[in-house]
């Protein structure tokens, strides 16, 4: 669809079309940003691939930064939705939940479509801490740490924040290395490393009185 056709189609569409156009733009941008990188993808390419007029794109996203923020908010919501779904497999058992999350992440990293953690990717592309995208990436990682610490505490781990620190570093390392070296690289030891951290944390529990 060329630009002239896109403009005509939008003009003739019913009132509900803005939400449809916005979703089409965001879906296209999400795929492009994740596969090719945010800085490598221009607004013109999003317009071309989505088949939506540029005027419509700017109606929904005043700047490219706004589109990047929407992309990250979408990724954040989907990540936690998936996380909560995984958590249901071990509901009521915090330690088992930590284990299933480790295995879930390992499986995710080994998928053929995996292109790294979108939050780490964007944080690398935007070193300015004041950039709005950085606020979302930081918030996401802090929420991951909070959830890990809460699970560790629920499992009775003596130093839950320390375990959350360790697992967070392990997760991020796997996210990055898995994209670079694939399943034949160090990520193949991700699950065993995670289980070792859990076992070590359990072994550090204070001895109970006889």
Half-sphere exposure for 136 (CA within 13 Å, toward CB): 22
**Average pLDDT for residues 145-156, to the nearest whole number?**
97
Structure confidence at residue 22 (pLDDT): 94
**Average pLDDT for residues 29-40, to the nearest whole number?**
96
Percentage of the chain lying above the pLDDT 90 cut: 80
pLDDT-based confidence at 5, cuts 50/70/90?
Answer: very low
Distance from C-alpha of 7 to C-alpha of 41, rounded to nearest angstrom: 22
The structural domains of the chain, ordered by start, are 1-62 (1.10.10.60), 65-210 (1.10.357.10)
Q: What is the pTM of this model?
A: 0.86
Structure confidence at residue 16 (pLDDT): 39
Pick from 3-7, 28-32, 33-37, 131-135: least confident: 3-7
| Average pLDDT value for the chain | 90
For residue 4, pLDDT beyond 90: no
Joined together, the tokens standing for residue 109 give: 């990293």
Half-sphere exposure for 205 (CA within 13 Å, toward CB): 12
For residue 17, pLDDT beyond 70: no
């Amino acid at each position: 669809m060329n630009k002239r056709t896109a403009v005509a189609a939008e003009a003739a569409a019913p009132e509900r079309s803005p939400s449809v156009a916005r979703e089409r733009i965001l879906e296209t941008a999400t795929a492009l940003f994740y596969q090719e990188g945010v800085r490598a993808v221009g607004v013109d390419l999003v317009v071309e691939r989505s088949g939506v007029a540029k005027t419509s794109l700017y109606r929904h996203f005043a700047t490219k930064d706004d589109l990047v923020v929407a992309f990250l908010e979408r990724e954040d919501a989907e990540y936690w939705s998936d996380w909560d779904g995984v958590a249901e497999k071990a509901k009521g058992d915090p330690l088992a939940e930590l284990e299933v999350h480790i295995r879930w992440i390992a499986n995710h990293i080994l998928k053929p479509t995996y292109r790294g953690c979108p939050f780490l990717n964007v944080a690398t592309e935007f070193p300015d801490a004041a950039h709005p995208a950085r606020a979302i990436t930081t918030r996401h990682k802090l929420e991951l740490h909070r959830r890990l610490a809460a699970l560790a505490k629920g499992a009775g781990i003596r130093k839950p924040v320390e375990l959350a620190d360790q697992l967070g570093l392990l997760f991020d390392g796997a996210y990055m290395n898995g994209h670079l070296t694939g399943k034949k690289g160090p990520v193949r030891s991700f699950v065993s490393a995670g289980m070792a951290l859990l076992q070590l944390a359990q072994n550090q529990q204070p001895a109970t009185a006889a």
